[in-house]
Amino acid sequence: MDEMNLFESVKKNLCSCSADLSLDENVEALLKNPQREISVSIPVRMDNGKIRVFQAFRVQYNDTLGPTKGGIRFHPSETIDTIRGLAALMTWKCSLHNLPLGGSKGGVVCNPRDLSTGERERLSRSYVQVMYPYLGPDRDIPAPDVYTDAQTMAWMMDEYSRIAGKTTFGSFTGKPVSLGGSEGREEATARGGWYVIREALQERGMETGQSTVAIQGFGNVGSHAALLGQEVFGARVVAVSDSTGGIYNPEGLSIRQVLAHKKKSGSVRNFPGASNLTNEELLALPVDILIPAALENAITSSNAKLVRAPIVAEFANGPLSHDADDILFDSGTTVLPDLLANGGGVIVSYFEMVQNFNMDHWDASIVNQRLENKMKDAYQAVSRLAERNNVPLRKAAYTIAVARVVNAMRMRGWA
């Protein structure tokens, strides 16, 4: 089945490398299931004085390598299966990038656009109140994700500190810099992804400044991908899109002007000097690099054959279905998988934790240099294994990540 949910897709990727690693069936079974799931109902008083109940989740998938780490989403279509898949993916992402962390993820079923600032704050604080026993710098450290941001983390960190009876900056990451946040955190996912793209292009004898790029998704990750791609890496960004559709100019877009247009109009569409197009049409553009930076299953078996870009870089989590991945590999397309390409966010979150623990603050140049080193090391390890075994980069990445977790399990006496 092509449109399997994200959790099933991650488990299938795990199974694909289990034979190569000679995994015992009991070890494999342990790796395919979360260690802990918390499902709660959160009552929140709304501005009209009435109580509204929100469903919320937290999945702590595996803590073999250390305390779990993962974002919190506010989304109207959130499901426990998606949260399971994202928590599993975070486990392998942390392992691949050699972080002393396990994987987790959280979510609240809501549409934050329908909530006032006060309602979002009360919801954020209520989430921490019910999840408090399971959170903490040495247990599980949340971060921003879809429709949450630095302000959300500030409220949550403050509520955790209030309950703990002491200021605990390290309980959350992705905070404002004034509250122990790290320089470069907001753009980290996109910047880390560009470091990986640069490595992949260099293997092809190309430079980022010679490349054309189309980006699906223009939220935090997609907009930073466009801005950094243009201003730092010198790429020609010819197309971007959001949930309403996209815009295209083969000569290139001025991303700062697109950002201003979206802020004013609420959409990238109808940008002066560009043609409107659908998200599906964007995926089929003749560009060097396609960056899906929105949600899961953007590219499936129904549209994978339309992709013309020789490099697809997954800045989102799970933007390719399993069947689409196979189609693109067979066509010779290089897919830079999510657990490799979008690891920059959790890497800089880890840097934020280190700074908090040491009561330190690094400037942006230090953060970016250390991020670059991490991303290059991971890409080179994955690329070497993929070439040696003649397998997709995704399988090589999972093989490295799973092997590290299994080795740690054996050392701890779990396997």
Question: In the numeric block, which tokens belong to residue 61?
Answer: 């998938």
Q: What are phi and psi of 135, to 5 degrees?
A: -110, 170
Tell me how crowded residue 265 is: count the other CB atoms within 10 A of its CB.
12
Backbone CA torsion sign across 80, 83, 89, 92: negative
Of the candidates 325, 326, 342, the residue with the CA atom closest to the CA atom of residue 379: 342
CA distance 122 to 141: 20
263 flagged as catalytic: no
Q: List Cβ neighbours of 410 (8 Å cut-off, separation of 6 or more).
A: none
| Helices 80-96 and 344-357: angle between axes, nearest 10 degrees | 70
Active-site residue identified among 11, 69, 93, 105: 105
Q: Is 297 left (phi over 0), alpha (psi -120 to 50) or beta?
A: left
List the alpha helices (DSSP H) in 165-288.
188-203, 220-231, 255-265, 279-283
* β partners of residue 144: 72
Cβ-contact 284, 306 below 8 angstroms: yes
The DSSP code for 309 is -
Residue 356 near residue 169 (C-beta atoms within 8 A): yes
Q: Alpha-carbon distance 386 to 401, whole Å? A: 13
Q: List active site positions.
A: 105
